[in-house]
Structure 1
Amino acid sequence: MNDLLIVVPENPPPEGMKADLFQTKDGVSIRFARAPGRGAEKHGTVVILPGRNEYIEKYFETANDLTERGYGAAILDWRGQGRSQRLLPDANRGYVESFDDYVRDLDAFFEQVVLPDCRGPYYILAHSTGVLIALLAAPMMANRVRRMVLCTPLLGLPVSPGTTRWVSHFAQFLYAFGFGKMYMPGRRNRMKMPEFSPAALSSDPQRFARNRATVSAWPGLAINGPTVAWTRAMFLAIERVTDPAFAARIHIPSLILSAGADRVVSNPAIERFSRQLRSTSLLTIDGARHELLQEADLYREQVMAAFFAFVEGTGDINF
């Protein structure tokens, strides 16, 4: 079902990539794609977990890098975004009731696609919101996933603790009064198809233009800002994951990559969290912005080198 992939000249898919749909237990249709590793040496499969308002096509380049190295790549669109089923009549709204729904989607992805159809061992490569989902799922994935590389985790906002508490309480207040499906105030038109600017999430104009061309070809890939319910669910998920008792249940060896110039997530929160985990190391890519896998070569090559060194056990990071 390759018609499920949006292909533009600027963004070709990896060789052999195929897309399809699977159904979750609660009846949501989820789009996924798989690409086989190339060459005689096959290392296993990397499961790519995108962030909020992302989609499979945004990771064609990363999947191609993996398959050229001999890894298979598997990726999904989270419910409510990309070409997975939207959850509200207004398909532009970023909505979910609980991040546990994302965790169940990931579990179904493993059960229906990854374990039966993809070569092991399995690794996770996640970005931002995808990292938060991976961490929530980590206790149940300990026997499935060998290692995780977690890019710019969504573990806090780059604002003061007081502002964070105010936004969290405001989302809780609005949700309690039945406004969960409403956009968070001020967030309606955020991040759908912005122009390149000094505030862009990547400093690379070519990759930024490539991703924008993909969304221009099929605008339904992207969503607008998060709803009250999504924002509330995000804060609850962060609170859960960063609780020391929960963190103690995460045993998958992990490498966290933070971006030195990140304006989307809190680097101090990432540093605090990384110190809680025994089997985790933290590496900061100085000067990079939030979207490490969409960044300029200067930064992105460091990310991919760190990924391969970590998962292949050839670097300094050993547990």
Structure 2
Amino acid sequence: MTAQPIDRRIVPAGMRFSEWRAADGWRLRSFAWPPARTPRGSLLFLGGRGDFVEKYLEALAHWNDGGWRLDGFDWRGQGGSGRHLADPLICHQASLEPLLADLAAFVDHWCRTTPGPRAIVAHSMGAHLVLRLLATGHRGIDAAVLASPMIDIRVGAVPGRALGAIARVAGLLGLGERKVWGRDIGDVGGRMTSCPERRDDKIWWKACKPEIATGPPSWGWVRAACRSIASLPPRDLVAVDIPVLMLGTRRDPVVDARAIAQAAASMPRAELMMLDGTGHELLREADAVRLPVLDRIDTFLAARAVRA
């Protein structure tokens, strides 16, 4: 199915936002978007660190047009789901465990209230958390698509282990709530996407709806991410026995491409698509990259996320 162009700066008719309460009472912004016809199944979408739903309207519209019922939410501490710090532009988490608990609770509710088959599409940090959930043996998900999954992180030549050590020291120095760098480097050049128009879309949304905007991560977030990554060793991925499609680029500036390939090799039913280039946000890339990625996802879902 060819992706149809939409206005990426308008929430489509039919998409409805609401409040979903986590077990501890935290308010998360969720959305639901049923298709115009009988759904072929249900798709749960989850973004990455600092994301908000509006960034992905284009991809969501593509799947809605394809007949999927869509649901999702902004992670606590970002998007429309509130903040942990007085400075709302610092993307901070002391631990990713509450996010994992939110995911498990939301998925349980989603599985009870939506038609199957059910698939998850998740990006970066969201993809990492989905893998952690699946590694626990969670049932009810028929397939998962993980784009640029945060199996491990790196910044330039600095690997995740070194970043974790630096973050630990920063925490001991009382800098855990300080931002790692001065500006949101995701807005710079082609670091997240090589498409300047889609990069401008994100900046536009953050300017027009500042309440959903975040910026650089805190040192606490880096430490929390490294701890969460360490809690999911490759041997645990053997337990992920549903079809999984892993997508990434060989020179991703944020996550470790080699770790993605190793994780895919560890799962009995995983497929791997690695692209040339440096883009991290594959669903927001230039069409030369984005459209083949959508085609690969569509093919995977058509073949794998269908019950006999």
Q: Does structure 2 retain, via aligned residues, the 8 Å contact 1:38–1:69?
A: no
Which residue pairs with 2:247 in the alignment? Answer: 257
RMSD: 2.3
Distance apart, 1:115 and its partner CA: 3.1
After TM superposition, the structure 1 stretch with the greater mean CA deviation from structure 2, 135-144 or 19-28, is 135-144
SS at match of 2:146: strand
What CA deviation, in whole Å up to 9, does each residue of 1:260-289 have, x standing for no partner? 442222111211222111111111123361
Within the candidate set 136, 144, 147, 1:148 is matched to 144
After TM superposition, the structure 1 stretch with the greater mean CA deviation from structure 2, 10-19 or 250-259, is 10-19
SS at match of 2:230: helix
SS at match of 1:38: coil
Equivalent residue runs for 1:191-270 within 5 Å: 191=185, 194=187, 197=189, 199-241=190-232, 243-270=233-260
Q: Does structure 2 retain, via aligned residues, the 8 Å contact 1:147–1:254?
A: yes
User: In structure 1, what residue type is equivalent to 2:201?
Assistant: R
User: In structure 1, what residue type is equivalent to 2:228?
Assistant: A
Which residue pairs with 2:153 in the alignment? Answer: 157
- Extract unaligned runs of 5+ from structure 2: 1-5
What CA deviation, in whole Å up to 9, does each residue of 1:63-120 have, x standing for no partner? 11011000011121000000102112222221112211111111222244x2344322
Answering whether residue 103 of structure 2 is matched by residue 103 of structure 1, we say no
Q: What is the TM-score with the length of structure 2 in the denominator?
A: 0.89
Which residue pairs with 1:24 in the alignment? Answer: 22
> Structure 1 residues 141 and 173 mapped into 2: Cα distance closer, same or farther (>3 Å)?
same
Q: Does structure 1 retain, via aligned residues, the 8 Å contact 2:151–2:256?
A: yes
Distance 1:165 1:143 in 2: 32
> Structure 1 residues 73 and 129 mapped into 2: Cα distance closer, same or farther (>3 Å)?
same
Which of the pair has the greater relative contact order for Cα pairs under 8 Å at 6+ separation?
A: 2
Equivalent residue runs for 1:171-182 within 5 Å: 171-182=167-178
Equivalent residue runs for 1:119-158 within 5 Å: 119-140=115-136, 142-158=138-154
Distance 1:65 1:124 in 2: 15
Which residue pairs with 1:189 in the alignment? Answer: 183
Which residue pairs with 1:309 in the alignment? Answer: 299
Which residue pairs with 1:62 in the alignment? Answer: 59
Distance apart, 1:48 and its partner CA: 0.6
Paired-residue identity, %: 27
Q: Does structure 2 retain, via aligned residues, the 8 Å contact 1:13–1:64?
A: no
Which residue pairs with 1:275 in the alignment? Answer: 265
Which residue pairs with 1:3 in the alignment? Answer: none
Distance apart, 1:250 and its partner CA: 1.9
Distance 1:314 1:163 in 2: 34
Q: Does structure 2 retain, via aligned residues, the 8 Å contact 1:158–1:267?
A: no
User: In structure 1, what residue type is equivalent to 2:215?
Assistant: N
Within the candidate set 38, 43, 50, 1:46 is matched to 43
SS at match of 1:255: strand
- Extract unaligned runs of 5+ from structure 1: 1-7
User: In structure 2, what residue type is equivalent to 1:34?
Assistant: A
Which residue pairs with 2:3 in the alignment? Answer: none
Distance 1:150 1:164 in 2: 19
Distance 1:258 1:54 in 2: 18
Q: What is the TM-score with the length of structure 1 in the denominator?
A: 0.86
Distance 1:247 1:169 in 2: 25
SS at match of 1:145: coil
Q: Does structure 2 retain, via aligned residues, the 8 Å contact 1:153–1:265?
A: yes
Distance apart, 1:309 and its partner CA: 0.8
